[in-house]
């Protein structure tokens, strides 16, 4: 059965939060699989650092999803009931519901992580705890609880997506994807001084 | 003096090749700095995996750049003399000329890496050597030779960009950027089996 992955876009979503998972899931695609971006309206979103991206679908015409990716960024702080409604309904039939960075706040607000263990960007751990009814882990790249996988900040969405790809397609395939995107990271300036 | 970074976009550029550096350089911005995307025409490009991005500038109205980022992807294989001319002229005044993945082929074709040491995606090392007049290193995240910094495949653009940020703003600032984007990568499925 082919998989459809939907990457949610909205104004002030953080670029790498959605582009990292986008790269991983599109690289993983096999015959019939689709990866689509979805926004409220059929017009470009302006991401948090200014990149303008055209969505493939709107809330109204998005296909049923097997995997939902909810990015974080400044745009998550906006009160947006239509977004929460859409997340809730899109997530209902998903095999995996995922978030990156402060995208976990949207999953929380949509009622999708009640009494679950999650993570988020290190700078937003305490505030997410204050929302209540959730256990927020820190110093961890991603947390899986049931069918919800929440990643830490920004770049952690890459690690999380590779993990999900391993669950969907098997670990050997995830390793091929990792190799194709040459993900053998070596951050510079790592030495303590 | 504020820095302007230009990220080149074209059809079938690989998404993470440009989105990774975009995230790093925008996160690093200080007062007055700009990070802009540049394409031939004022219309959306369709990246290699289908993401449609609107450029901030065209070749005709792009500002002078301090840093140029040339992504790779299928779109590099297209013969496009206007693109080479633009790269050549934009690079002339740059402090740093950079590429990600097969973007190094464009730097080579533009005559910017003659007799220099470079790298590229692991799957394209041999073909780049066949172009001649260049030394292609492998199993390395990025190579700096003079003011040219070429990164390995896709995700390596993140490491390369952080290194350049350290050169532009100092290493402590690069570490802040790394921390803000929570770049403590931990690829899953890393164990040998």
Model ipTM? 0.96
**pLDDT tens for each residue of chain B, 193 residues long:** 799 999 999 999 999 999 999 999 999 999 999 999 999 999 999 999 999 999 999 999 999 999 999 999 999 999 999 999 999 999 999 999 999 999 999 999 999 999 999 999 999 999 999 999 999 999 999 999 999 999 999 999 999 999 999 999 999 999 999 999 999 999 999 765 4
Q: Could you give the CA distance from residue B173 to residue B189 in angstroms, rounded to a whole number?
A: 31
Interface of B with A in 67-96 (CB under 8 A): none
pLDDT, residue B24, reads 98
Question: Which pLDDT band, with edges at 50, 70 and 90, does A149 fall under?
Answer: very high
pLDDT, residue B191, reads 64
pLDDT, residue A120, reads 98
For residue A90, pLDDT beyond 80: yes
Q: Could you give the CA distance from residue A174 to residue A28 in angstroms, rounded to a whole number?
A: 7
CA distance A61 to chain B (A): 18
Rg (chain B; Cα; Å): 16
pLDDT, residue A1, reads 77
Are A50 and B185 a contacting pair at CB < 8 A?
A: no
Are A51 and B187 a contacting pair at CB < 8 A?
A: no
| B29 Cβ contact list (under 8 Å, min separation 6) | B35
Q: Would the pTM of this model clear 0.95, i.e. be above it?
A: yes
Active-site hit among A9, A24, A101, A149: A101
B73 neighbors B12 (Cβ within 8 angstroms): yes
Nearest to A22 among B51, B184, B188 (CB): B51
Nearest to A155 among B26, B56, B183 (CB): B183
Catalytic residues of B: 101
User: Which helix or strand (DSSP H or E) is residue B103 part of?
Assistant: helix B103-109
Is A153 an interface residue toward B (CB < 8 Å)? yes
| B86 Cβ contact list (under 8 Å, min separation 6) | B40, B59
For residue A192, pLDDT beyond 70: no
Nearest to A22 among B49, B181, B185 (CB): B49
Domains, chain A, in order of start with CATH, read: 4-180 (3.40.50.880)
Which residue shows structure tokens 């390596």? B156
Give the CA count within 13 Å in the CB-facing half-sphere of A39.
20
- Chain B residues near residue A19 by CB distance under 8 angstroms: 15-16, 19-20, 23, 51
For residue A191, pLDDT beyond 80: no
For residue A91, pLDDT beyond 90: yes
Query: Order of strands, edge to edge, in the sheet holding B52-54?
Result: A45-46, A52-54, B52-54, B45-46
Identify which of A38, A65, A66, A74 has the alpha carbon closest to the alpha carbon of residue A54.
A38
Is B40 an interface residue toward A (CB < 8 Å)? no
Question: Which pLDDT band, with edges at 50, 70 and 90, does A190 fall under?
Answer: confident
Mean pLDDT of all residues in chain A? Answer: 96
Is B186 an interface residue toward A (CB < 8 Å)? yes
Are B185 and A185 a contacting pair at CB < 8 A?
A: yes
């Amino acid at each position: 059965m082919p998989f459809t992955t939907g990457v949610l876009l909205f104004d002030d979503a953080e670029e790498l939060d959605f582009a990292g998972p986008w790269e991983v899931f599109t690289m993983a695609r096999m015959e019939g699989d689709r990866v689509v971006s979805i926004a409220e309206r059929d017009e470009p979103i302006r991401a948090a650092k200014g990149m303008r991206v055209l969505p493939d679908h709107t809330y109204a015409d998005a296909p049923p999803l097997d995997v939902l990716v909810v990015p974080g960024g400044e745009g998550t702080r906006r009160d947006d009931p239509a977004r929460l409604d859409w997340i809730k309904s899109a997530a209902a039939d998903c095999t995996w519901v995922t978030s990156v960075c402060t995208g976990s706040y949207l999953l929380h607000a949509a009622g999708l992580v009640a009494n679950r263990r999650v993570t988020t960007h290190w700078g937003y751990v305490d505030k997410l705890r204050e929302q209540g009814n959730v256990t927020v882990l820190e110093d961890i790249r991603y947390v899986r609880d049931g069918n919800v996988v929440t990643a830490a900040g920004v770049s952690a969405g890459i690690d999380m997506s590779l993990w999900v790809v391993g669950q969907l397609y098997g670990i050997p395939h995830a390793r091929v994807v990792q190799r194709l995107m040459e993900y053998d990271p070596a951050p510079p300036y790592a030495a303590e001084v």
